[in-house]
Every structure is written in C-alpha cells, then in structure tokens.
Chains A and B, each alone.
Chain A
C-alpha cells in the first residue's frame, strides 16, 4: 500500500491532472482505509469549492 506521503501527492495532483487508472485505484484504496488522508482530501476539496465561489457573498 502507498504511504500517506505518496497519497497526499496523488490527492493534490488529482486537482490538476487526470490520474491514471492505477494511481486512482491506489489512492482510492488508501483513502477508504485511512481516515487521516480522507481529512486531507476533504480539506483540498473545501479549498477548491471556496475558491470557485471567491470572493464569496
């Protein structure tokens, strides 16, 4: 299994490019099993949503 360090890279890269099948799979498997990386993934997701709505209401 990939380390958290490797997965955090994939999570971020996924924001800027389409991951390959193997990358996506290894990231998903890790995220299912690792609550810590899931929180990191959620943080990146929140960041993106926030910026898409910038400058807010």
Chain B
C-alpha cells in the first residue's frame, strides 16, 4: 500500500501537474489522463523516490515522459494539427532599414536572480498560454520537454524550415510578452 503521506503530497501537487500538462497538450481530457497516469506511476514507483530530489521535481520528470509518450502517439495517429507555413515578416519591425534595432533590447539582469523572483513563473506561464496552440506545442517540445529540433520536425512531420520559423516566432513572442508584463512592468 502506498503511504498515505505520499498520496496526500501527490494530491497537493496535482494542480501544478495539471497546469503543466495543459500548457503542453492544450486539451483538458488529455491533460487529466497524463496526470492520472503520472500519479499512478509515482505511487507504484515510490521506491524510486527516496527523497533524493523534491517530490515535485520527481513527479514532473515522470509527467514529462508521459507527455512525450502522448505526443508520440498523437503524431503516429496523425492527430497533430499542421502548422501553417508563414514567414516571419511580423518581426521585421524590430529593425530599421539599415539592420539596426528600432528599440534596443532591455537588460533583463542575472537569470539566477530573476528566476527566483516571486511571480516570475506565473507571468511566464501566462505568456506561454498566449502562444497559438500549434506554436506552443512545438516550442514546449523543444524547451520544456527538451527534444532536439530535428526530432520534433520528424515527430510532427514538419519541414525543418517550418519547424524553425515556428520556434523563432515562439521565442520572439515570449520575449515581447515578458518584456511587457515582467521586465518592463517593474
């Protein structure tokens, strides 16, 4: 029998896990499924958790694998939406005719300090949610789940130029959003 302590601790982090899954799957039923699988795996594999890492870190690492499995299944079944091929002309406005910055990027400071600031991850999550679904899917596979770019293109059956444009767009959108809602607002 799993210890009641572990069950209770896992229940406590369930909302965090669900948010994490929603961000990447954008589908409530699918997110519920992978979180449920994660909680079960965590309870079954509790011997693997010996307090070496934080419970949340451990559960998130299980969840990542479940999400990866889910995405792989999805790409095999061809249920992944296709990302439309578009240029990145929308960011041309960042530069003037001679290739200089219209508005110089701001100094965001020391990552070690910023990432510890309270509220930063809430804002980052907000910005991730604001990404279009298809863009978010490719981007979270790359940055949150840690896939190699080539792997993503292959899994999602995208051309590498399309893949690249999507990743580029995601990074620029997130940058703008963080500048507006976090760095510029402080």
> Are chains A and B native binding partners rather than an unrelated pairing?
yes
CB A8 to nearest CB in B, in angstroms, measures: 8
Q: Which of A14-57 contact B (CB under 8 A)?
A: 15-17, 36-37, 39-40, 42-57
A37 to B95, CA, bound (A): 12
> In which size bucket is the chain B interface?
35 or more
The reply to whether B95 and A46 form a contact with Cβ atoms under 8 Å apart is no
Number of A residues with CB within 8 Å of any CB on chain B: 30
A13 to B88, CA, bound (A): 13
Q: Which of B82-101 contact A (CB under 8 A)?
A: 94-95, 98-101
* Chain A residue at minimal CB-CB distance from B57: A57
The reply to whether B149 and A48 form a contact with Cβ atoms under 8 Å apart is no
| Secondary structure of the A contact surface, majority rule | helix
Confirm or deny: B49 has a beta carbon within 8 angstroms of a beta carbon on chain A: no
CB B100 to nearest CB in A, in angstroms, measures: 5
A/B pair count, beta carbons within 8 Å: 90
The answer to whether A47 and B120 touch (CB under 8 A), given A4-B100, A5-B99, is no
* Chain B residue at minimal CB-CB distance from A51: B143
B residues less than 8 Å from A49 (CB atoms): 111, 115
The reply to whether A16 and B120 form a contact with Cβ atoms under 8 Å apart is no
| Secondary structure of the B contact surface, majority rule | helix
The reply to whether B104 and A36 form a contact with Cβ atoms under 8 Å apart is yes
The reply to whether B99 and A45 form a contact with Cβ atoms under 8 Å apart is no
A17 to B150, CA, bound (A): 9
A56 to B119, CA, bound (A): 10
CB A40 to nearest CB in B, in angstroms, measures: 4
A53 to B120, CA, bound (A): 12
* Chain B residue at minimal CB-CB distance from A49: B111
The reply to whether B19 and A55 form a contact with Cβ atoms under 8 Å apart is yes
The reply to whether A55 and B16 form a contact with Cβ atoms under 8 Å apart is yes
* Chain B residue at minimal CB-CB distance from A7: B99
A53 to B115, CA, bound (A): 9
* Chain A contacts to B: CB under 8 angstroms: 3-6, 8, 12-13, 15-17, 36-37, 39-40, 42-57
